Amino acid sequence: MGNQSCVKILNEWDIVAARQLGRNVAKELGFGTVDQARITTAISELARNIYLYAGQGQICIEKIYDGGKAGLKIIAADNGPGINDIRQVMEDGFSTSGGLGAGLPGVKRLMDEFDIDSSPGSGTDIIATKWLR
C-alpha cells in the first residue's frame, strides 16, 4: 500500500518520529495548522501510550479517500497487556500511571472518528480518522 507508512515505537524518541511522519502527511493532504496540531497531538498521545503501557508497538499513518473526501487515518497497534475496562479509560481523569488521564478521551475529541479494540492479554488496536474539510 503506497498510502500507508509506519513507524515502530520502541523508545521515547520514536514518538517524535511518529509525530513528524503524521505532520508531514497532514501537510501533504492540505490540513490547516490547527488540524495539523490536532493530528500530531493525537499521534503523540497514542504513541506515548504504546511506549508507556505496551513497551513497543507500531503507529501507521494512512491517506484515505472516500468519495470526494480525503482524510488521514492513524492506526496504533501493540501486543501489550491490553485494556481491562475500555469504558473506564475513555472517561476523563482516569489514569493508571498518575498522569492526567486525558489521553484517550482527548484523542477522541481531537479526531473525527475513533475506534478502539482491546482485551486483556491480546494487545490494543486504535484507529482514529480525521477528515479534510
Partner 1 sequence: MENLILEYIGTKKNEITSEWMEKMRSRTDERALRLVSDDMFERTSGEFVELMISNLKESKEEFNNRLTDFAEKVVRLGWPLHFVIEGLQTFSKILWEGMLRQGEVHEGNQMDVIYAFDRWLSPLQNEVVDNYSRTWERTVSLQKIALQELSAPLIPVFDGITVMPLVGTIDTERAKQIMENLLTGVVKHRSEVVLIDITGVPVVDTMVAHHIIQAAEAVRLVGAKCMLCGIRPEIAQTIVNLGINLNQFTTQNTLKKGIETALEMTNCKIVKVEGAN
By CB under 8 A, name the binding residues for partner 1. Answer: 12-13, 16, 19, 33-34, 36-38, 40-41, 44-45, 48, 92, 99-100, 102-103, 105-106, 109-110
Separation CA 3–CA 37 (nearest Å):
21
- For residue 44, the minimal CB distance to partner 1 (Å) is 4
28/100 with CB nearer partner 1: 100
| Stretch (H or E) spanning 75 | strand 69-78
CB nearer to partner 1: pick between 11 and 119: 11
Residue with cell 468519495: 67
CB neighbour list of residue 121: distance below 8 Å, 6 or more residues apart:
81, 82
- Cβ 121 to partner 1 shortest distance, Å: 26
Query: Which CB, 61 or 110, lies closer to partner 1?
Result: 110
Q: What is the nearest approach in angstroms of partner 1 to the Cβ of residue 131?
A: 16
C-beta closer to partner 1: residue 12 or 28: 12
Q: How far is the CB of 13 from partner 1 (least distance, A)?
A: 7
3-26 burial: b if 16+ Cβ within 10 Å, else e: eeeebebeeeebbeebbebbbebb
